[in-house]
Amino acid sequence: MQETNQFKVFAGSKGLDLAKRVCDVLGCQLGNVHVDRFSDGEFCTYFEESVRGQSVYLVQPTCPSSDNLMELLLMIDAAKRASAYKVIAVIPYFGWARQDRKDKPRVSIGAKLVANMLQAAGADRIITVDLHAEQIQGFFDIPVDHIYGSNVLAPYIAGLNLKKLIVASPDVGGSKRASNFAKKLHGMTDREVPMVICYKHRPDFNKVSEMRVLGDVYGKDVVIIDDIADTAGTLCKAAQVMKAGGAKSVRAIVSHGVLSGTACERIEESDLEELVCTDSLPSDEKHCSKLHIVSLAASIAQTILAIQNHTSISETNLR
């Protein structure tokens, strides 16, 4: 293992719990960074220890509040001004990623704007998990290490030993993600894992008016694969449709449990047996008995060590 004085790990307000778990895997101490807040809501960040000549890893998701993004930008700037050797932003959940293209006139491309801001602040590298659209990596002119949540989520599903396992995509756009997950499960269970697709009509953001299943789910143990659960409306609607089609059980697997508004209540009342997600976002405020968290700490720690040791990241973080 690398000498810990070659790099230091720090965390923003929303990345603290995950950063502690990453440091436990690395066997190093979490660095001290402080946030001072003014009465008008403005804040500033400063490091309470030297980072001169160090590779500095800053763990912070950039959602749900824009304050989290601004906090990360300020930490990057502070580290650069304190003569850090390299500043690596570890963004387990990359906010604004759903705004990755102009899908209608006169609309912003939020993901590109955030990429520009991170680079302008001085980030030398990005580590992130399951981008909503993989082409967002191309918005950066610095290296982006893209970790796949399936590395920790698929083993959990394989460990359930579901006899009639079938994978479902909640929409046509997520079919590639679901297909890759099915292939990973096939390699782990040595059994073919079929896939079905849901067709949905969405009249507005966070609203689904109609959904149909393309494929047979009768008597099957269905696992719905998605990257983000925000209001959880799509997942709950999909579970209802699957159950109506005769599914024996329905679970949902997502990389990022945003779970905004009444999402937890909606999940509790749904046909889902459980919702499994990673700890890319803090879950301390999400009270849901059906929620099961799987940690990304080991994957992120392996990525940090690979960067420090100049070894391949893809060998341990392939989808």
Active-site residue (options: 200, 220, 237, 286): 200
Burial level of 183, CB count in 10 A (0-12/13-18/19+)? middle
Q: What is the DSSP letter of 32?
A: P
Task: Report CA torsion sign: 235, 238, 244, 249.
Answer: negative
Cis bond before residue 105 (omega within 30° of 0): no
Q: Which residues pair with 217 in a beta bridge?
A: none
Strands (E), 112-194: 125-129, 144-147, 165-169
Instruction: Check if 200 is active-site.
Output: yes
Burial level of 305, CB count in 10 A (0-12/13-18/19+)? middle
Q: Which residues pair with 275 in a beta bridge?
A: 252, 291
Distance from CA of residue 268 to its chain's centroid? 22
* Active-site annotation, residues: 200
